[in-house]
Amino acid sequence: MENTIQPQPCRLSVGEPNPVLVKELRGRMRGARAFIMLTMYLLLLGCFMLSVYSAYADDLTGADMTELGRTTFLVITLIEILMATFIAPAFTAGAISGERERQTYELLRTTLLPARKLVYGKLLSALTYMFLLIMVAVPLESLAFIWGGVMVEEMVVALVLLLVTAISFAAIGLFFSSIVRSTHSSTVLSYIAVLLLAVVLPILLSILLAPGIDNGMSWTAYLMFLALSISPITAAVITEGLIEENILYFWWDSLFYNPHTTTHVPVPLPWIIYTLFWLAITAILLSVTISRVRAQEK
Amino acid sequence: MGIIETRGLTKNYGRITALSELDLTVEEGTIFGFVGPNGAGKTTTMRILAALLRPTAGEAWVAGHSVLTQRREVRRIIGYMPDFFGVYGDMKVWEYLDFFAACYEIPAGIRRRLTDELLELVDLSHRRDDYVDTLSRGMKQRLCLARALAHDPLVLILDEPASGLDPRARIEIRALLRELHAMGKTIFVSSHILADIEEICTHIGIIEAGQLVAAGTLAEMRQRICSQHLVRVKLTSLIEEAQAWLAGHPAVLQVERLTDNDGNTLRATVAGDEESLVRLLRELTGTGFPVLAFYEETGKLEDVFIRLTKGIVS
């Protein structure tokens, strides 16, 4: 075609916030709902902490104080990981399908908003609220430092696990939201995927591999270790156990006993395997989601 | 060359053909009314032009940009309003426009002024701080139109903008479209109610079963009426015999019995000029049929629509 009319040049200045993120956050934080949810969440965490404290409260010596600190840290971290596992997909499962159901999707797709910005805006808005939930629990977790028994490195590892869980499981919700039309189906599929990948698959692999494990470390045990590292809960528990026992954070050299030889094999801690595995899955899911949103309807 | 062009545009949904080899040209600066019964292919055409839907075959251009390969350029040029659309109920009116203006890459510095101007244009300034959910349907329609204007598009693609509106809201939308036309916008507007379009359009295109049946300026379309006449013949008796006689008359293209009232009225499409009508009446009475009334229906564009479309998909 000749005689094309040139469209007006892009005028948006660099550094302006993602409009979808601004809109979503405005909607999410408006009214009392967000603050009621935060308050309820903190009350729940507070109750758990109180029960842990009362279990140790009768006769606290120096050693018991350390134990109290560790237990408090573990309980809060596990609750937060469970929350991230099961709340993150719920925050994003309606992100794209909800726009379709509200009949606003086409309005968005005829603007100049790139598919990438739409997807990242939805993801970031869900994550921002998740991060808020994680951050408001930091003062409670900090009590563990007053009581002792927890190292800063452990807290950093716990935070990494939490962030990776929130990002990855939010990406699962977003992915299903882009491939199915209804939010209901997207939510169901997201939870099935989360349960399969984070709970069923690691347990199933462990059961299948368990009979092959002899004394000492073997390749079967190695695979089972990798499988257990996929689940946020087992990854967190095993990591914490290994840190507590050996004071190491990244990997250790394990002796592999084969029938004829003995070899040294580096074994990464579960939090590293977990982080790498889920960040790779997240990258794949996000790129598929973006291409789904970018594609013209056929 | 038109600002909107389609060549051999075809869209199949499985075995159903929604559009068949559509060739359409819309000139710049016109209000082009795209008329057809429900299911004729209007929305499919508009969604292809808005770069939302991929055609099965053929190509379409907006301002010379391909809707298949230059989607971003097309979106910069068009403002699209679908037939059914949702609004973000939890947003305030100004937030809604501000959000879409940001999606159209308009800097924050000028969005506030732009939002106020758009609200003034669609007469919603007084509802600026209200939630979108509290607006009436007509107001939501105007807000959606304001949204489509946020990036100052050259072409507006409006799918049934007056559907479901009360008479007052229809008038307001029509007035708004006239104003936008006066501002130099090309407006491609669809409707299945020809009366809504007839008043404001400069050009009309009639589509049925995915094919363009007729297209032209208002004057050209009215010209079509002049070569044919719709005549009502009311008789006191012998209605079936008269119908058969008219059906056999060389000047009568089509005849049908109207079932309303007492069922004694026939409607005939008669070819030729007014003299042909006089001759037909003379022959009809001369044959002995008891004619009570013989009159021509008012020649509106609606008649062209009725005659050209067969109601295949409505």
Residues of B in contact with A12 (CB under 8 A): 102, 105-107
Q: Which of A110-114, A170-174, B197-201 has the lowest mean pLDDT?
A: B197-201
Top-ranked range on mean pLDDT: pick from A11-20, A73-82, B283-292, B305-314: B283-292
Express as a percent the part of chain A with pLDDT over 90.
37
pLDDT at A96: 94
Q: What is the DSSP letter of B29?
A: T
Q: What's the confidence (pLDDT) of residue B188?
A: 96
What pLDDT score does B172 carry? 85
Under 8 Å between Cβ of B47 and B53: yes
Q: Which of A16, A102, A107 sits opposite B108 (nearest CB)?
A: A16
ipTM of the complex: 0.83
What pLDDT, on the 0 to 100 scale, is given for residue B34? 93
**CA dist., res. B101 & res. B110, Å (int):** 10
Closest C-alpha among B223, B222, B227, B244 to residue B235: B244
Q: pLDDT tens for residues B151-201?
A: 999 999 999 988 778 888 888 888 889 999 999 999 999 988 777 777 889
CA–CA dist B259, B269 (Å, integer): 17
Q: Is B61 on the interface with A (CB under 8 A)?
A: yes
For an interface test with B, the pick among A111, A112, A113, A297 (most B C-beta atoms closer than 10 Å) comes out as: A111
Are the Cβ atoms of A102 and B88 closer than 8 angstroms?
A: yes
Q: Is a pLDDT exceeding 80 seen at residue A34?
A: yes
* Successive 10-residue mean pLDDT values, chain B, 314 residues: 92 91 94 89 95 94 94 94 86 94 92 93 92 91 92 94 82 89 94 79 90 85 71 90 92 85 84 84 92 79 63 46
Q: Does A14 touch chain B (CB under 8 A)?
A: no
- In sequence order, what are the residues at sequence separation of 6 or more whose Cβ sits closer than 8 angstroms to the Cβ of residue B44? B11, B18, B19, B53, B210
Least confident of A132-141, A274-283, B10-19, B71-80: A132-141
pLDDT of residue A269: 85
pLDDT (0 to 100) of residue B314: 39
Please say if the pLDDT value at position A284 is more than 90: yes
| Tokens standing for residue B130 | 């209200």
How far, in Å, CA of B28 to CA of B288, rounded? 56
HSE at residue B309, side-chain half, CA atoms within 13 A, is 27
Q: According to the model, what pLDDT value does residue B289 have? A: 92
Residue in chain B closest to A298 (alpha carbons) equals: B54
**Percent above pLDDT 70 for chain A:** 85
Spell out which residues of chain A touch residue B102, defining contact as CB-CB under 8 Å. Answer: 12, 16, 19, 22
Task: Give the range among A69-78, A82-91, A167-176 with minimum mean pLDDT.
Answer: A69-78
